[in-house]
Structures are given as C-alpha cells and as structure tokens.
Amino acid sequence: MNDGLFDQFKTWYEKRHDYARDWKARTGGQVVATMCTYTPEELLIAAGMLPVRVLGAHEPQNVTEPHIFGMFCPFCRDSLAQGLLGRFDYAEGVTLTQSCIQYRQTFNSWRMHVPTVQWDYYVPMPNDVQSPHARKAHYAEVQSFREFLGALTGKPLTDEMLKEALAVVDENRTLLRKLFDYRKEANPRVTGVEALYASITAQFVDRREHNEMLKKVLAALPTRDLNRPEGVRFMTIGSENDDVAFMAMIESVGGTIVIDDQCSGTRHFWNASKPEDDVIKAIADRYCDRPACPTKDYPNHTRYDHVLGLAKEYGVQGAIFLQQKFCDPHEGDYPDLKRHLEDNGVPTLFLEFDITNPIGPFRIRVEAFLETLGEEELF
C-alpha cells in the first residue's frame, strides 16, 4: 500500500540538490556541504546557513583516483566524487568534524580541488571523547567555530541565535525519535525504507520544514495500516548507507527493517541536548554524549551495549552488517560486535558494500539468512 505519507521525504531525498538550490534562491542563505554527523549543525543553522550532508550517488565514477587511494572506503570516494563532479556547486562552504582519517582526506581533497568552495572549516573534535579532557577541548573547538562563522558572516552568533537553532534541531531529534517509536510495534506502520527517507533528509533539509513534515506524518500515523506482512524484523548496522534499492530489496523478500545503528540513521539524531545555561556547552556535550561512531568509542566500547539495547528494544530477530569496504573503524568493531550480538541471541549477516552493490547476490544472501532464521521446520 502506498498512501503517499512519506512521499515528501522521498522527493527531498531524490531531488536533494534541487532542494538546496531552491532553498538558496528562497532565503538568500549560504549552503554548507558537511561531512560527518559530528558536525555541530546548530551553529550553521544559527548563522542562517543550510547544512547539507554530502552523500554519495552510488554510481561508478573515475575522478577520485588522483586524490585519494582506491582502498579508501567507498563512501569517502563517492563523497569526493560528488564534489569533483560539481554536484555541490551551489555550496559556498565545506566543513568536516574529525572522525576517521579517510574522511579527512576526502575533506582535504574537496577543499583543495572543488573550484566552487569559497571557505572551509575543520572542527578537530577529540576522538577520545571518553577522556576527562574531551568535553573541555570540544567546548573550545565549538566556540572557535562559532567565532569563525561570526567573522565570516560579519554577524556574531549570539546566545539567543544559538539557543533558537538548538531548539529547532532538538525538536527534530525528538520528532524523529517519536517516529522511530512506531517501529517497535508488531507489524510496524512505518517501513525501513520510509524511516530511512525521513531520517536521512534531516541531514540536508531545512530543519524547520523537516519538523513540520514530521508533525504531519506523526499526526497521520495512529490510523495508518500498511497491510503488509512483517516477516523477520531486521536491524542494520554500519556507517553511512543510504542505498535505498538495497533496503527495499530486504523489505521485498520477507523482512522489515525496524531499527538501525548507522550515521545515516539513528546515530545522527538519537539524543537531544541536555539543558545548560551555557548554550555552547549544551551543543558541545551533546556530540560527546551521542551514540558513538567506532572512531570515537574507545577505550570502552559503549556502542556494543547500545546496539544490543536497540536490538532488544525493537524486537530485532536478525542484524545485518552493512560494511563499507575498507572502513577500518567499523571493520575493527565487527568481530566483537558480532559476537556480542550472537551471544545475546541476535543472529547476524555480514555484507560488504561498495559504491555500487550487486543486489542480486545480496538478495540470495539475505534470503539464505532468512532461511537460517526460519522457525518453520523445513525438514
């Protein structure tokens, strides 16, 4: 059944560059290409800018070899290709907040070689967020970013501007959590593909518009009946992955994706900020407290219990690792996280992703995974 409830999110996703150009024409604001979901978007929004996360196009490309190695992860290569191919020619700025070294090289190549870039900013957020010094250091870095943006626009970012932006982003996080709550239900009234459209678009659509759309969807959900078989309840785990064709394939062969631990999904919006008198502290701490990416999850591996907790809370019957090839941080976590899930009754499937993916062979693997999970006694 398609009642069109999520069509606006789908349109935003499919025409994201058109959306950004239109937003710019409407508002006269600057667009900033952002890399990594640790980027404190609140500051950019407070400065009247539109943060647009750089996503790949999942198309073969031949432009990144002079700049980054072929053994850098496909997402980094695909992201850089989008810049080099001029797909973000509307973006004045580009920012990265430190996460993995491959992403940093993508950012460095982008700011050096994408001719439309007018300014760039690198936020050297500590990776060891568990260090007692991390919050203080990150506070100082967010403050520096604030000063940079104030100088860039000629309009210092006041506490009031930052508080207003933080309130908008926190509302977005809260609304997305409410939407995701519906996925806990038996036979959820939101599919994984729909949830992906809703959550990924929060990374490049004006958050105020996104909030209004989320409110409309949330108002309609209580009476929605998808009338589709639930099948096996899956969780997806990995880094950035917005391969809609793959997600749709999973949901076409007898499964429903009910939750994720990905930066294209929950890791981006899962926690709101905590109330603080000092707005910079509220913003900076929120990023230290968010569900960790593997690059920021040591010496203690907090994400293993976080992922397992999500699996339990959402009634997950099988977890699929969407491993970006050559993504060292996630590959490093994989053996232990797999064991942790399986020891606690959550079977796993590992699939290695590239810029383009072989849906046919992946379908066979997902179907075989379903057969191994099947309660039906085949023999």
Partner 1 sequence: MITAGIDMGSRSIKVVLLEEIKVDGAPQLKYAVKKAHVMLPGEMDADEAAEKAYDEALKAAGVTRDDIKAVFVTGAGRSQVKFATEGVTEMTAGARGANYMFPQVRTVVDVGAEEGRGVKVDADGKAIDFAGNEKCAAGAGSFAEAMSRALQMSLKEFGEASLRSDKTIPMNAQCTVFAESEVVSLIHASTPSQDIAKAVLDAVASRICAMVRRVGIEESVALIGGMAHSVGFVASLKKALDVQDVLLPEMPESISALGCALIAAERQQ
Which helix or strand (DSSP H or E) is residue 97 part of? strand 93-97
Length of the chain: 379
Q: Taking contact as CB under 8 A, which single stretch among the options 98-106, 165-173, 261-269, 363-371 is the one that binds partner 1? A: 363-371
The single-letter code of the amino acid at 99 is: S
124 binds partner 1 (CB under 8 A): no
Contact 256, 233 (CB under 8 A): yes
The smaller minimum CB distance to partner 1, of residues 225 and 375, is found at: 375
The smaller minimum CB distance to partner 1, of residues 9 and 353, is found at: 353
Q: Taking contact as CB under 8 A, which single stretch among the options 24-32, 74-82, 103-111, 348-356 is the one that binds partner 1? A: 348-356
Bridge partners of 78, per DSSP, are none
345 binds partner 1 (CB under 8 A): no
Instruction: Tell me how far apart the 2 most distant CA atoms of the chain are, in Å.
Output: 73
343 binds partner 1 (CB under 8 A): no
**What is the smallest separation between the CB atom of 371 and partner 1, expressed in angstroms?**
5
**What is the smallest separation between the CB atom of 316 and partner 1, expressed in angstroms?**
18
60 binds partner 1 (CB under 8 A): no
* 263/316 Cα distance (integer angstroms): 19
Residue 132: count other Cβ atoms within 10 Å of its Cβ: 7
245 binds partner 1 (CB under 8 A): no
379 binds partner 1 (CB under 8 A): yes
The smaller minimum CB distance to partner 1, of residues 185 and 371, is found at: 371
**What is the smallest separation between the CB atom of 352 and partner 1, expressed in angstroms?**
6
331 binds partner 1 (CB under 8 A): no
Residues 6+ apart with CB under 8 A from 167: none
The smaller minimum CB distance to partner 1, of residues 195 and 355, is found at: 355
Helix (H/G/I), strand (E/B), else coil: 185: coil
113 binds partner 1 (CB under 8 A): no
Q: Taking contact as CB under 8 A, which single stretch among the options 2-10, 21-29, 221-229, 368-376 is the one that binds partner 1? A: 368-376
* 44/314 Cα distance (integer angstroms): 33
Q: Taking contact as CB under 8 A, which single stretch among the options 134-142, 185-193, 195-203, 364-372 is the one that binds partner 1? A: 364-372
359 binds partner 1 (CB under 8 A): no
* 174/301 Cα distance (integer angstroms): 25
Question: In this chain, which of 2, 223, 360, 375 binds partner 1, going by CB under 8 A?
Answer: 360
* 110/95 Cα distance (integer angstroms): 10
* 371/376 Cα distance (integer angstroms): 9
The smaller minimum CB distance to partner 1, of residues 272 and 319, is found at: 319
**What is the smallest separation between the CB atom of 361 and partner 1, expressed in angstroms?**
7
The smaller minimum CB distance to partner 1, of residues 17 and 365, is found at: 365
Give 259-272 as a DSSP string: EEESTTTHHHHS-P
Q: Taking contact as CB under 8 A, which single stretch among the options 1-9, 263-271, 280-288, 352-360 is the one that binds partner 1? A: 352-360
Bridge partners of 321, per DSSP, are 237, 350
Contact 53, 75 (CB under 8 A): no
**What is the smallest separation between the CB atom of 244 and partner 1, expressed in angstroms?**
20
208 alpha-carbon distance from chain centroid: 18
Q: How many helices (H) and strands (E) does the chain have?
A: 15, 8
Residue 247: count other Cβ atoms within 10 Å of its Cβ: 23
**What is the smallest separation between the CB atom of 368 and partner 1, expressed in angstroms?**
4
Residues that bind partner 1 (CB under 8 A): 350, 352, 354, 358, 360-361, 364-365, 367-368, 371-372, 378-379
